[in-house]
């Protein structure tokens, strides 16, 4: 055996060894996808209109607050989210030069139309697109953080389309869709607000001393009225300031705890900048009430008894699980907008197991059928192709194990397709060798010519399929990507086995023989 042949045999043995090492043990290295393991498939829509409205509300509050600090009084304001604008009345005596300076400093992104008595602040289309895109990306990151803390292994969380407002979530091995949906869609936006009046049993009594109308800069929020044993017995109303003292964006951490009665609660901790602001407020408002507002609902409204620095507690009728989940979503951050569920599927473990069994049976049946065909049609040369086919499957499993790939049902289809395609190259080579033998060439010459002339065709055919697989991977979602991954690895492995391994097997069989009269093909 010459050195070049020994080198090729050594390389094949090293590749086989690496493949076995990469895939062993297969149950730990190759992960099963949602359709094989069971779990939850969700398609969500991020309601980006909420973010747009919040942006307009925030801009309006900034304008009114800064104008007030500069001694400028503005009139009635109206937000129109559908038109991407808000309007505000500007009295004739207003110092418009100073107002223009405030607008340029604090609202530079708005286009301002200065009408007679009313100014219109409109967001340009490119800013609107940017706000919507940021909302989806922030929602994607928040959902990923929440699910990571939930402890799901191998989740699929991705945006559908480049500028889509839809998010795909696949959670293998999860069988509690109700809790997962609540965990994902819970906005969990925390605000601490100053209580102006309340609690009251109805809005009329709440607003009695204000002439029946909420004062400017305030809003009415509701909370649960509880009995002596903590049970909810009705609603109560609070009049609070719209501007929050601090919000959930300024949280440093949150964790489940207990209140003074031993009931589940959630402790929260603020970042240093917010802690300083919170400390100043509580120090100057001792004896007044402060509302702890979660997603627009008052959870509690304790009286400030002393200066508070960087922590607080959220009390409510929580179970231990609810308190744990609330702490989780507060740590992960608030969603920038509400979520709508467009699609929901739950795959049971038994259905996933059945898919695995049927997929394995189909792959084995296809493998046996192809191997028998090659043996019958190409005789001993078919055995060469069968060895290359088995090695191809080993390389495929090894690559999936090395990269920690997730095997889905379409991925199983990709494996089965690979079995058929793996012998494609061998068929081209063997047919070419037959043609060369028929015109009278020697066996070694026919093998040389058969491999060299079939290589171009093999490369072209596999390259076009590989390009298609790469496009499927780039633009497809979970199951389609699974198919693309197995198909891509299978194509690369079949090129190696059909061309390199098959040729090495022929050379091994013919090594040391000066003249070979015939070839079993």
pLDDT tens by residue, 457-476:
888 888 888 898 888 887 77
pLDDT above 70: percentage of residues in the chain: 89
501 neighbors 426 (Cβ within 8 angstroms): no
Query: What pLDDT is recorded for position 178?
Result: 75
- Per the omega criterion (within 30 degrees of 0), is the bond before 25 cis? yes
Does residue 231 have a pLDDT over 70? no
Buried b / exposed e over 493-518, threshold 16 CB at 10 Å, is bbbbbbbbbbbbbbbeeeeeeeeeee
Mean pLDDT throughout 437-460? 86
Does residue 230 have a pLDDT over 60? no
Residues whose CB is less than 8 angstroms from the CB of residue 13 and which lie 6 or more positions away in sequence, other chains included: none
Strands 232-241 and 251-258: unpaired
Whole-number Cα distances in Å, 394 to 17, 28, 168: 10, 16, 32
338 neighbors 49 (Cβ within 8 angstroms): no
Lowest-pLDDT choice from 246-260, 462-476, 489-503: 246-260
Cα–Cα distance for residue pair 224/317, rounded to 1 Å? 9
Whole-number Cα distances in Å, 339 to 49, 54, 183, 428: 11, 15, 11, 54
- 3-state secondary structure at position 274: helix
CA 265 to chain centre: 29
Does residue 75 have a pLDDT over 70? yes
Query: What pLDDT is recorded for position 258?
Result: 79
What's the CA dihedral at 12, 15, 20, 22 to 10 degrees? -170
Query: What pLDDT is recorded for position 316?
Result: 62
139-170: pLDDT as tens digits:
888 788 777 766 666 677 888 877 788 888 88
Q: Which residue has the tokens 């079993």?
A: 520
Mean pLDDT throughout 223-244? 76
Query: What pLDDT is recorded for position 314?
Result: 66
* CA angle centred on 456, ends 452 and 459, rounded to 5°: 120
* Average pLDDT value over all residues in the chain: 80
Burial class (CB in 10 A: 0-12, 13-18, 19+), 81: middle
Cα–Cα distance for residue pair 331/266, rounded to 1 Å? 11
The secondary structure of 442-478 as a DSSP string is: -HHHHHHHHHHHHHHHHHHHHHHHHHHHHHHHHH--H
Query: What pLDDT is recorded for position 232?
Result: 67
299 neighbors 314 (Cβ within 8 angstroms): yes
CA within 13 Å, CB half, 105: 11
Lowest-pLDDT choice from 23-27, 455-459, 500-504: 23-27
The values of phi and psi at residue 360, to 5°, are -65, -45
Cα–Cα distance for residue pair 116/111, rounded to 1 Å? 16
Does residue 1 have a pLDDT over 70? no
Cα–Cα distance for residue pair 455/424, rounded to 1 Å? 12
- Per the omega criterion (within 30 degrees of 0), is the bond before 5 cis? no
Query: What pLDDT is recorded for position 152?
Result: 62
Terminal C-alpha separation, the chain: 24
Question: 300 pairs with which residues across the strands?
Answer: 292
Q: Which of these, 344, 418, 395, lies nearest to 168 by C-alpha position?
A: 344
User: Among positive and negative, which fits the CA dihedral 249, 254, 260, 261?
Assistant: positive
Question: 46 pairs with which residues across the strands?
Answer: 339
271: confidence class by pLDDT, cuts 50, 70, 90: confident
175: confidence class by pLDDT, cuts 50, 70, 90: low
Question: 492: part of which helix (H) or strand (E)?
Answer: helix 478-495
Domains with residue ranges and CATH for the chain: 3-36+349-510 (1.20.1640.10), 48-125 (3.30.1240.20), 186-343 (3.30.1360.200)
* CA angle centred on 180, ends 177 and 186, rounded to 5°: 130
Query: What pLDDT is recorded for position 413?
Result: 79
CA 308 to chain centre: 38
Lowest-pLDDT choice from 13-17, 29-33, 425-429, 459-463: 29-33
Query: What pLDDT is recorded for position 392?
Result: 87
Does residue 221 have a pLDDT over 70? yes
Q: Which residue has the tokens 């095997």?
A: 407
CA within 13 Å, CB half, 102: 22
Cα–Cα distance for residue pair 164/41, rounded to 1 Å? 18
Q: Which residue has the tokens 């649960």?
A: 224
What does the chain come to in residues?
Answer: 521
Does residue 110 have a pLDDT over 80? yes
Mean pLDDT throughout 302-309? 74
pLDDT above 90: percentage of residues in the chain: 1
Query: What pLDDT is recorded for position 326?
Result: 67
Q: Does the pTM exceed 0.75?
A: no
Does residue 209 have a pLDDT over 60? yes
Query: What pLDDT is recorded for position 69?
Result: 78
315-345: pLDDT as tens digits:
666 678 777 776 766 666 667 777 888 888 7
388 neighbors 501 (Cβ within 8 angstroms): yes
Query: What pLDDT is recorded for position 437?
Result: 86
Q: How many CB atoms lie within 10 A of CB 468?
A: 14
DSSP secondary structure letter of residue 286 = T
- 3-state secondary structure at position 268: strand
Q: Which residue has the tokens 């809003």?
A: 219
Mean pLDDT throughout 25-53? 79
Query: What pLDDT is recorded for position 229?
Result: 60
Cα–Cα distance for residue pair 200/1, rounded to 1 Å? 96
Q: Which of these, 80, 87, 84, lies nearest to 129 by C-alpha position?
A: 84
Cα–Cα distance for residue pair 85/123, rounded to 1 Å? 6
């Amino acid at each position: 055996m010459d050195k070049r042949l020994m080198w090729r045999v050594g390389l094949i043995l090293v590749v086989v060894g690496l493949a076995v090492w990469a895939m062993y043990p297969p149950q730990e290295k190759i992960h099963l996808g949602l359709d094989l393991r069971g779990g939850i498939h969700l398609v969500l829509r991020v309601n980006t209109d909420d973010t747009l409205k919040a942006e307009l509300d925030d801009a309006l509050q900034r304008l009114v607050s800064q104008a007030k600090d500069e001694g400028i009084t503005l009139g009635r304001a109206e937000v129109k989210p559908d038109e991407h604008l808000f309007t505000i009345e500007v009295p004739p005596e207003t110092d418009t030069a100073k107002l223009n300076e405030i607008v340029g400093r604090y609202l530079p992104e708005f286009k301002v139309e200065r009408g007679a008595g009313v100014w219109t602040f409109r967001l340009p289309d490119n800013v609107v697109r940017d706000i919507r895109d940021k909302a989806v990306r922030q929602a994607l990151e928040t959902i990923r953080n929440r699910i990571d803390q939930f402890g799901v292994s191998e989740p699929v969380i991705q945006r559908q389309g480049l500028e889509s407002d839809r998010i795909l979530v696949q959670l293998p091995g999860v069988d509690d869709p109700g809790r997962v949906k609540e965990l994902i869609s819970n906005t969990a936006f925390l605000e601490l607000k100053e209580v102006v009046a309340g609690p009251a049993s109805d809005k009329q009594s709440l607003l009695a001393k204000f002439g029946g109308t909420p004062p400017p800069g305030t809003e009415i929020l509701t909370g649960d009225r509880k009995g002596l044993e903590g049970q909810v017995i009705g609603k109560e109303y609070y009049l609070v300031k719209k501007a929050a003292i601090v919000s959930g964006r300024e949280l440093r951490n949150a964790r489940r705890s207990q209140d003074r009665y031993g009931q589940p609660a959630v402790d929260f901790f603020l970042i240093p900048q917010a802690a300083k602001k919170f400390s100043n407020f509580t120090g100057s408002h001792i004896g007044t009430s402060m509302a702890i507002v979660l997603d627009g609902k008052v959870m509690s409204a304790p009286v400030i008894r002393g200066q508070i620095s960087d922590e607080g507690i959220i009390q409510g009728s929580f179970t231990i699980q609810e308190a744990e989940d609330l702490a989780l979503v507060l740590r992960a951050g608030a969603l920038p907008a509400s979520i709508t569920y467009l699609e929901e599927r739950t795959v049971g473990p038994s259905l996933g197991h059945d898919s695995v069994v049927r997929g394995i049976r189909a792959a084995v049946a296809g493998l046996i059928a192809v191997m028998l065909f090659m043996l019958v049609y190409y005789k001993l040369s078919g055995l060469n192709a069968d060895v290359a086919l088995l090695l191809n499957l080993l390389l495929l499993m090894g690559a999936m194990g090395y990269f920690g790939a997730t095997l889905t049902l379409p991925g199983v289809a990709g494996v089965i397709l690979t079995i058929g395609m793996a012998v494609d190259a061998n068929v081209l080579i063997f047919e070419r060798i037959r043609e060369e033998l028929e015109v009278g060439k020697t066996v070694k010459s026919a093998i040389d010519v058969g491999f060299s002339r079939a290589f171009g065709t093999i490369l072209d055919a596999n390259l076009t399929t590989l390009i298609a697989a790469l496009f499927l991977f780039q633009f497809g979602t979970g199951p389609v990507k699974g198919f693309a991954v197995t198909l891509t690895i299978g194509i690369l492995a079949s090129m190696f086995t059909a061309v390199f391994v098959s040729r090495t097997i022929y050379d091994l069989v013919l090594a040391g023989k000066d003249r070979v009269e015939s070839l079993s093909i």
